[in-house]
């Protein structure tokens, strides 16, 4: 089927046109994410915007879901902010992270390290230029379906992930699983009416105003997951130590049906008008590795993939999420009478690298159909496995730790 796609291409962008109604005649409520394969495949841009509205619906904090009595766009926590944050799931020593009901909401508790994740974006010490390794911190959150699958299969530990590898069981998240990535930056009070905002407290007790600048959606609604990325309308014009603007055009057939490539508008008719959300733009969607002409698709977010906007595909990069056996790491010790006691090195799980790293310090991604040789494990000459186990596109699983016997699991 020659279905429509909204995408970035390596050498070209595809023009698209859609009808501003979901493919399913039974339209869900605006606070519901449609679990509709045909809708996601045939009208990906519209599916992205409908999902965007549902995830950013005002939250019922007690229910950890949408407040159906609230108007879209009012200030306060939204649905995805009630979900489990990556740091709450993958804990040091890999204990069971507990129950879904125990998960907090954005901004109300410290994250890993001395500062909340969002506060680390200030980079008060030694800024890292765009394009260098890991110059941006992200808030990564998962919905209950994703969380429950991780807990049930003990994927919160490296041992649990390796158990899937050793037994040959395939990791496959339920179709209603969703994960999001968010990027925040400090903003002024004057900018506040144009941003989804939060007030975060630093380690000294100072309250700092932050605005959402990048938002990425990953949904298991289709087998290779559905990918959509959004940014604030100010981002294409940012230049500085952490920014490089937009190096590829946005493609949005909903906001710009007549000229989707290079679209700089927000769609009408979805309830964005008059809210902070009218200041956000769909950068593109992805439902396949290549377009109908066989050209690899590029889809990136300038806030999340700074420095590798032209070399990355969401789907291709995440297809490299893997787990393998442990590898040996040489111990470090010294000889002599004053030799310190030393212990065997901790095990290291074999995984495929997330990004490509160049000699000049630049970081690159991957595009196109995944290559079989990516997943090949070295032949040891003895019994070995044919290749890495794929972890169903989720890089958050790389945050898992080995189990620490001294850390009791929660009951």
Task: Give the separation between CA 347 and CA 79, rounded to whole angstroms.
Answer: 38
| Within a domain: 351 | yes
Say which range, 26-35, 99-108, 208-217, 383-392, has the weakest mean pLDDT: 99-108
Q: What is the pLDDT of residues 160-177, one digit of tens each?
A: 999 999 998 899 999 999
pLDDT of residue 254: 98
Number of structural domains in the chain: 1
Share of the chain above pLDDT 90, in %: 56
| Within a domain: 209 | yes
Task: Give the separation between CA 313 and CA 16, rounded to whole angstroms.
Answer: 19
Task: Give the separation between CA 386 and CA 336, rounded to whole angstroms.
Answer: 43
Task: Give the separation between CA 123 and CA 282, rounded to whole angstroms.
Answer: 27
CA atoms within 13 A on the CB side of 331: 10
| Within a domain: 3 | no
| Within a domain: 310 | yes
Residue span of the structural domain in which 289 resides: 8-399
pLDDT of residue 27: 72
pLDDT band of residue 206 (cuts 50, 70, 90) is confident
Structure tokens at 265: 């508008």
Q: What share of the chain is helix, strand, coil (3-state, %, to 5)?
A: 20, 20, 60
HEC string of 62-95?
Answer: CCCEECCCCCCCCCCCEHHHHCEEHHHHCCCCCC
pLDDT of residue 235: 92
Q: What is the pLDDT of residues 33-78, one digit of tens each?
A: 999 999 999 999 999 999 999 999 999 988 999 999 999 999 999 9
pLDDT band of residue 358 (cuts 50, 70, 90) is confident
| Within a domain: 411 | no
Mean pLDDT of 187-209: 84
| Within a domain: 346 | yes
| Within a domain: 76 | yes
| Within a domain: 2 | no
pLDDT band of residue 343 (cuts 50, 70, 90) is low
Q: What is the pTM of this model?
A: 0.85
């Amino acid at each position: 089927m020659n279905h429509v796609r909204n995408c970035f291409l390596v050498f070209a962008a595809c023009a698209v046109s859609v009808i501003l109604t979901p493919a399913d005649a039974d339209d869900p409520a605006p606070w519901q994410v449609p679990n509709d394969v045909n809708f996601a495949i045939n009208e990906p841009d519209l599916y992205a915007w409908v999902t965007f509205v549902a995830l950013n619906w005002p939250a019922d904090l007690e229910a950890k879901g949408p407040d159906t009595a609230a108007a879209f766009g009012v200030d306060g926590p939204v649905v995805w902010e009630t979900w489990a944050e990556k740091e709450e799931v993958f804990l040091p020593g890999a204990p069971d992270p507990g129950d879904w009901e125990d998960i907090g909401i954005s901004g109300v508790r410290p994250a890993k390290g001395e500062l909340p994740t969002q506060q680390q974006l200030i980079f008060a010490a030694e800024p890292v230029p765009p394009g260098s390794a890991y110059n941006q911190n992200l808030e990564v959150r998962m919905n209950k379906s994703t969380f429950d699958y991780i807990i049930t299969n003990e994927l919160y530990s490296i041992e649990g992930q390796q158990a899937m590898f050793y037994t040959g069981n395939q990791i496959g998240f339920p179709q209603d699983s969703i994960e999001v990535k968010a990027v925040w930056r400090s903003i002024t009070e004057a900018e506040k009416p144009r941003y989804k905002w939060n007030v975060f407290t630093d380690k000294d007790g100072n309250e700092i105003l932050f605005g959402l600048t990048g938002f990425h959606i990953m949904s298991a609604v289709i087998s290779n997951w559905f990918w959509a990325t959004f940014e604030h309308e100010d981002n294409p014009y940012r230049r500085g130590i952490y920014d490089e603007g937009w190096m590829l055009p946005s493609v949005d057939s909903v906001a710009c049906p007549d000229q989707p490539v290079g679209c700089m508008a927000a769609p009408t008719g979805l309830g964005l008008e008059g809210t902070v959300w009218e200041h956000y733009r769909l950068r593109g969607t992805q439902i396949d590795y290549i377009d109908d002409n066989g050209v690899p698709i590029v889809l990136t977010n300038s806030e999340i993939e700074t420095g590798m906007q032209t070399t990355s595909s969401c789907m291709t990069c995440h297809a490299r999420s893997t787990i393998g056996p442990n590898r040996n790491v040489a111990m470090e010790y010294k000889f002599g009478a004053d030799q310190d006691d030393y212990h065997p090195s901790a095990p290291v799980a074999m995984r495929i690298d997330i990004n490509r790293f160049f000699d000049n310090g630049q970081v690159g991604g991957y595009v196109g159909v995944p290559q079989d040789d990516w997943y090949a494990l070295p032949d040891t000459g003895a019994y070995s496995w044919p290749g890495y186990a794929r972890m169903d596109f989720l890089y958050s699983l790389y945050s898992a730790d080995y189990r620490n016997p001294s850390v009791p699991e929660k009951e």
